[in-house]
């Protein structure tokens, strides 16, 4: 099974090696990267990673509204015929199989049913883990605290779309128009990207959404980075941080990938002549939970 991944990202250069390495480990083999108004090391990192991974990179140099939808439609029109399944998600999102080692194994049941044209994956929302400064090391190791059960924003999905079919984007970057719509892993219809009446299921597929990272990251970038699927000039106010900085449940779901991921990231960094990978920084939330 040949899996593709489409993403549009802005100034996430410091975390790209981890993001590509992780998604290669879980089974993606073709990457379509839309670099939106990147002023950091993104372009240089992409060029270097292109020597190891199959990456098609596109540069979007200017500010645009709803640029994510345009990028996704471009990928649907030009690349969907080359893969069995294509997933569409962001640079702070990590998708993985829950019961299997790879995503092709997890998607096999859906692939075997030709009536399934798209599968929605629910997300777990991770907060800052109490980090004020952005720590060195891996995102998946530094941020281990997430929202408690019932957090409504976890009822959003991102989509795996079957290849070789007609697909269009509308006003939502989470669910597309496909011949038979979108279902979740329990085969329940998902008519929109956010369906509050559906209790999320994480038995087969899951996405960890590291939406906050540190307070420093929020102040220096996230607050004023706009919304790629809406207004480019949008601001995230303080209530956004208060809503999404959820740190109620310790979550070690990434531990089973930690060894292979660290090995691959270290290999890539050595190939690129970068310093050795730093260790994870203990989360202040871990200390707070002991009191």
Per-residue pLDDT tens over the stretch 232-288: 566 788 999 999 999 999 999 999 999 999 999 999 999 999 999 999 889 898 877
pLDDT digits (tens, 9 = 90+) for 221-233: 888 776 655 565 6
Q: Which domain holds residue 190?
A: 3-288
Find the CATH number of the domain harbouring 256.
3.90.550
C-beta of residue 9 within 8 angstroms of C-beta of residue 35: yes
- The tally of domains found in the chain comes to 1
Q: What is the pLDDT of residue 62?
A: 85
Predicted TM-score (pTM) of the model is: 0.95
> Percentage of residues in the chain with pLDDT exceeding 90?
85
Judged against a pLDDT cut of 80, whether residue 163 lies above it is answered with yes
Q: Which of 55-59, 175-179, 192-196 has the lowest mean pLDDT?
A: 192-196
Banded pLDDT at 51 (limits 50, 70, 90): very high
For residue 246, which of 179, 152, 165, 157 has the smallest C-alpha distance? 152
Task: Give residue 66's pLDDT.
Answer: 85
């Amino acid at each position: 099974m040949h899996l593709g991944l489409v993403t549009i990202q802005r100034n996430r250069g410091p975390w790209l090696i981890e993001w590509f390495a992780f998604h290669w480990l879980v089974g993606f083999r073709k990457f379509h990267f839309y670099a939106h108004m990147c002023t950091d090391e993104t372009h240089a990192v992409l060029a270097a990673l292109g020597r190891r991974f199959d990456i098609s990179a596109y540069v979007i140099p200017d500010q645009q509204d709803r640029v994510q939808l345009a990028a996704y439609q471009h990928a649907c029109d030009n690349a969907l015929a080359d893969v069995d399944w294509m997933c569409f998600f962001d640079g702070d999102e990590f998708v993985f199989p829950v019961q299997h080692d790879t995503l092709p194994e997890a998607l096999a049941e859906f692939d075997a049913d030709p009536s399934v044209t798209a599968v929605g994956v629910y997300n777990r929302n991770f907060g800052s883990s109490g980090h004020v400064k952005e720590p060195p090391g891996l995102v998946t190791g530094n941020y281990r605290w997430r929202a408690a059960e019932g957090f409504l924003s976890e009822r959003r999905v991102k989509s795996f779309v079957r290849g070789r079919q007609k697909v269009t984007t509308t006003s939502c970057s989470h669910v597309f128009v496909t011949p038979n719509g979108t279902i979740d892993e329990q085969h329940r219809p998902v008519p929109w990207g956010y369906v509050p009446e559906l209790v999320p299921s994480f038995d087969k597929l899951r996405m960890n959404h590291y939406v906050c990272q540190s307070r420093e990251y929020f102040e220096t970038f996230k607050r004023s980075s706009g919304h790629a699927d809406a207004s480019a000039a949008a601001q995230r106010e303080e209530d956004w941080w208060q809503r999404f900085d959820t740190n109620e449940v310790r979550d070690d779901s990434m531990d089973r990938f930690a060894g292979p991921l660290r090995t691959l990231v270290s290999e890539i960094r050595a190939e690129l002549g970068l310093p050795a990978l730093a260790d994870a920084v203990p989360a202040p939330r871990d200390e707070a939970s002991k009191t």
